[in-house]
Structure formats: structure tokens, C-alpha cells
Amino acid sequence: MRVLAVDDSRTMRDMLRMALMKGGFNVVTAVDGEDGLEVLSANGADVIITDINMPKLDGFGFIERVRENDAYRGTPILVLTTESDPEKKDRARRAGATGWIVKPFNPDKLIDAIRRVAA
């Protein structure tokens, strides 16, 4: 299963890559929403993990753009962010997010969440 992880923090991308590879996932990463759209079109993804606060194209815009593409309309998108504001959670849901995980993340719980949404 291929997971696309979109986050402007290199440390977070590396942590996600290591945790998800240990879980048996094929991981591709992107540095922001614009890069995420390019990586997605080049590589595809079964599940997408995205941050909200990023330069160029934030997580909300990224989710909306992914959902505009028929090929990814049903692809699970998990938001992984430091934000816990209910209004932002609601906005992400309206944009098309499947779930919301607050950083710092527990690798085992993240892997479980990915397996649940991908099933």
C-alpha cells in the first residue's frame, strides 16, 4: 500500500517515512500542497497524510484539489497537525478529510488508523 505524506517539516517527513516503512507501507513524501499534487499525479497513493499549515498550498487547499480529481475522490486523507481547533477540524472535514490526528503522533496508532481507513 502506498502512502503519500505531505508536510513542510523535513523532520516530520522523515519520522513519518520511518514509522510507516516499519509498518510495511511504501512511502512517498512532498514538501507542501503544490508538491503533494505533483507527487500524487506521478506516483499515486492509497492513503494520503497531510499537514494543514504549509507554504504555497496549505492542507485545506491541498485536500480540496485532491478531491476535485475523480481518481482520488475516494482516497482516504488523514490530517496530521498540531492544530486541535474544532473549527479547523470541521473545515478539513468539509474539504474532504477522512480523519484528524494531532501531533505528536504515536506510530502504532497512526499505522492502525491508516489500515482502518484503507480497509
Tally the domains of the chain: 1
CATH of residue 57's domain is 3.40.50.2300
Asked whether residue 54 is assigned to any structural domain, the reply reads yes
| pLDDT value for 119 | 81
| pLDDT value for 84 | 86
Continuous H helices in 44-106 = 59-68, 86-95
Asked whether residue 114 is assigned to any structural domain, the reply reads no
Asked whether residue 22 is assigned to any structural domain, the reply reads yes
pLDDT of 62-118, one tens digit each? 999 999 999 999 999 999 999 889 999 999 999 999 999 999 999 999 999 999 999
- Please name the residue that has the C-alpha cell 499505522: 111
Asked whether residue 109 is assigned to any structural domain, the reply reads no
Asked whether residue 89 is assigned to any structural domain, the reply reads no
pTM: 0.96
Confidence band, pLDDT 50/70/90 cuts, at residue 20: very high
Asked whether residue 111 is assigned to any structural domain, the reply reads no
Asked whether residue 115 is assigned to any structural domain, the reply reads no
Task: Please say whether the dihedral angle defined by the alpha carbons of residues 78, 61, 7 and 26, taken in this order, is positive or negative.
Answer: positive
Domain of 52?
2-83+95-101
- For the chain, give the number of residues: 119
